Structure 1
Amino acid sequence: MLIRVFMKLQGPLRALCVFLTFACVAPAMAQQLGVPQSSVVTLSSERLFSDSAFGQRILREIEAEGILLGEENERIVAELSLEEKLLTEQRATMTADEFRPLADAFDEKVQSHREGQRAKLDALARRSEEAQQRFFELVQPVLIDLLRESGASIIIERSSVFLSSDRTDITEAAISRIDAVIGDGSTLENEASE
C-alpha cells in the first residue's frame, strides 16, 4: 500500500520522501551493522593494524624473521667466542708483533658481524613500518565509508581521547570491514610484485 502511494508521488514531494526515508533508515541500518551514529567517532589505529588479518600476517612474518635473525646471531656469537678462545690460547705462544695482526683481524671481523646484524635488524624494523604505512593507505577507503555511514565528520585516535563512550569506537567495525575487503593482504602484495 505504502509503495503504491510512494510511486504516485511526483517531483519535489517524492524527493522529500526519498530523503526522509534515507535519513531515517540509513542510521538504523548503520547501527545494525555496528557503526555508531555520532558526529565524532574514535578508532584505535594500533588495534586496527594488530587485530586485522593483514596486521596479524605481517606480525607473524616479522616475528619469524626475528627468530631466524636471533638464531643466526647466536650462531655467530658462538663461532666468534670459539675463535676468541683459540686466539687467546695462541697468544701465549706468540710475540706481540705476531699476535697484533691476528687480534686486529679478529676485531674487524667482530665489528663487521655486529654491523651486519644491526643492518638486518634495522631492515626488519623498516619492513614493519612500511607494512603499517601500506596498510593505512589500503584501508583509507574503508575508513571513509565508515565515517560517512556513522554521520561523523571526524575520526579521532582513541588513545588521544581523555574520555568517551565506547559506543563511538568504530575499531571493531573497521577491522571486520577491512578483513572482508583486503583479507591478510598477501594477494595484494603478490599483485604489486608482479
Structure 2
Amino acid sequence: MRRWASVVAALALALPGPAAAQDPIAVPSPILTIDQDRLFEETRLGQHSTREIDAAAEALTDENRRIEEDLRAEEISLTERRGSMSAEEFAGLADAFDAKVQAIRAEQDAKARALASRQEEARQAFFVEVAEILSEIVREEGAVVILDRRDVFLSADRIDITDQAIARINAAGRQTPAAPAPATPAPDPVPDPVPPPADQ
C-alpha cells in the first residue's frame, strides 16, 4: 500500500497544478491521447454509420419479437390440442415444434452475429477514413503517437485531442457509407409440423 502511495504522489508532483495549468506549456508532448468511442459517436461521419446499423438492429429486434409471439401462439395451440390426440401423435408434433424453434433460433443468432460484424467493419472503415486528419494533428502538435485514453492510467488533459479531432473531422464534411452486410446463405426452410400417420 505504501509503495502505491509513493507512486501516486510522484505522479501528482509531475502533473501541473491548478496555477501552472493556466500557463501554456511550450514544449510539445510526444504522446497524445484520444477517446475513440467519442470520436466515432460524436462525429457526423461516425453517426452516419451508426444510424444505419441502429436501424438494422431495431428491425431485427422487431422481427425477433414477432417470431416469439408466433411461436408462443403455436405452442399454446399445440398444448390445447393435446387432449384430443394420442401420446405418440402429440410427441411427434412436440418434437417437430422443438426442431422448428431451434432452427429459427440459429437463423436469428446468425443475423445478430452478421450485424455485430457489420458494426465492427463500419468502425474500422471510419478510422481508416479519418487517419489522414489524425496524422495532420500529430504533425502539428509535434507528437509521434496517439494512444487511446482507455489504455492510459493517468495523463494531463492538455494532451487529449478528442475535441480537436471531432471538430476537424466535422469541418472536413466527409461521409462514407456503413460497411455492407456480409453475404450469408439463406437457411433451408423449416417445414411446419406434420402429424404422424395413424396406425393401420
- TM superposition score category, shorter chain reference: 0.7 to 0.9
Q: How does 1:22-37 map to 2 (within 5 A)?
A: 37=28
Match of 1:65 among 49, 56, 67: 56
1:78 is the counterpart of 2:91: no
- Separation in 2, partners of 1:107, 1:88: 13
Q: 1:67–1:189: structure 2 CA closer, same or farther, 3 Å change rule?
A: closer
Higher helix share: 1
- Which SS does the other structure have where 2:84 is aligned? coil
Mapping for residues 78-97 of structure 1, pairs under 5 Å: 78-97=69-88
2:23 maps to which residue?
none
TM-score, length-scaled by structure 1:
0.73
Structure 1 pair 59–189 and aligned structure 2 pair: CA distance change class (3 A): closer
Matched residue SS, 1:66: helix
- Is contact 1:52–1:184 with CA below 8 Å preserved after alignment? no
Within 5 A, what are the aligned runs for 1:92-103? 92-103=83-94
Amino acid at match of 2:84: T
Instruction: Report the count of equivalent residues.
Output: 154
Computing the radius of gyration from Cα coordinates, the structure with the larger value is 1
Deviation for aligned residue 1:178 = 2.0
Deviation at 1:81, TM superposition (A): 0.7
Equivalent residue number for residue 127 of structure 1? 118
TM-score (norm 2): 0.71
CA distance in 1, matches of 2:172, 2:42: 15
* Alignment-mate amino acid for residue 72 of structure 2: S
Give the structure 1 partner of residue 154 of structure 2.
163
**1:118, distance to aligned residue in structure 2 (A):** 0.9
Question: 1:140 is matched with which residue?
Answer: 131
Q: How far did 1:120 drift?
A: 1.1
| CA distance in 2: counterparts of 1:59 and 1:189, whole angstroms | 11
The CA distance in 2 between the partners of 1:112 and 1:182, in whole Å, is 45
Runs of 4+ in 1 over 6 A off after TM superposition: none
CA distance in 2, matches of 1:126, 1:77: 24
Q: Distance in 1 between the 2:63 and 2:153 partners?
A: 44
1:52–1:179 Cα contact (<8 Å) kept: yes
Q: Give the match for residue 3 of structure 2.
A: none
Partner of 1:40: 31
Contact map agreement 1:54 1:183 (CA 8 A) in 2: yes
User: RMSD across aligned C-alpha pairs, in angstroms?
Assistant: 2.1
Indicate if the aligned counterparts of 1:45 and 1:157 stay in contact, CA closer than 8 A: yes
- Please give the alpha-carbon distance, in whole angstroms, between the structure 1 residues aligned to 2:179 and 2:97: 42
Give percent identity, aligned residues only: 47
**Secondary structure of 1:183's aligned partner:** coil
Deviations 1:93-115 (A, max 9, x none): 11122122211111111111111
